[in-house]
Amino acid sequence: MSRALEFASTVRHDGHGGLADDLATVDGLAAWARVDANEELRLRVVELRWAVRSLFAHAVDAGERIDTPHLMPLDEALRVVNAAAAQVPRAARLEWEEPLRLRYVDSATEGERLLADLATSAIEFLVSGERAELRACPAPRCIRYFVKAHPQQQWCKPSCGNRARVSRHYRKTR
């Protein structure tokens, strides 16, 4: 799974009408991203995650889902993602030893690097060919995105297909 999709998938339906969020706590962020996290970084990463999900929702016309209240308008999502990607300005440095060497240097913190990496992978994902196969899972309550692996794939995973069939059957037999 691409990093962008993994990032977007850090929040999902909890099975009881709410959201389960891997990034709901500082420890959760530290475990997911393997960084020294704090609350300030967590808030920025979560804002970036909703911005990325807003772009995904816009890209695939996801419609109304339980995460819709967290989504941002397109221009705001773009501003958040582009600002995060710009967190690590880097400079070329010439080192004069034979053979001459170019090294890229920056003075970013670990948190800034995380934000920039996540935002950059989202941008790369959205301009890649994968975007054409990006789907919002249409199963009841599911808020996952997935990249279609084969033309017949309709759901993010088989259990979502089963749940959708059961709920269709339930509606028909009532």
HSE of 36 in the Cβ direction (CA atoms, 13 Å)?
Answer: 2
- Nearer residue to Zn ion within complex by CB, 12 or 42: 12
Q: Enumerate residues 148-167 that contact Zn ion by CB under 5 A.
A: 156, 160
Q: Enumerate residues 4-63 that contact Zn ion by CB under 5 A.
A: none
* Bridge partner list, 105: 91
If one asks whether residue 65 binds Zn ion (CB under 5 A), the answer comes out as no
Site string for Zn ion, 103-142 (x = CB under 5 A): ----------------------------------x-x--x
| Closest approach of Zn ion to the CB of residue 69, in Å | 19
| Closest approach of Zn ion to the CB of residue 173, in Å | 23
| Closest approach of Zn ion to the CB of residue 35, in Å | 28
Which own/partner contact pairs does 138-144 have at CB distance under 8 Å and 24+ positions apart?
Answer: 138/164, 139/163, 139/164, 140/164, 140/167, 141/13, 141/17, 141/66, 142/12, 142/13, 143/11, 143/12, 143/13, 143/19, 143/65, 143/66, 143/67, 144/9, 144/12
Which residues of this chain interact with Zn ion, rule CB under 5 A?
Answer: 137, 139, 142, 144, 156, 160
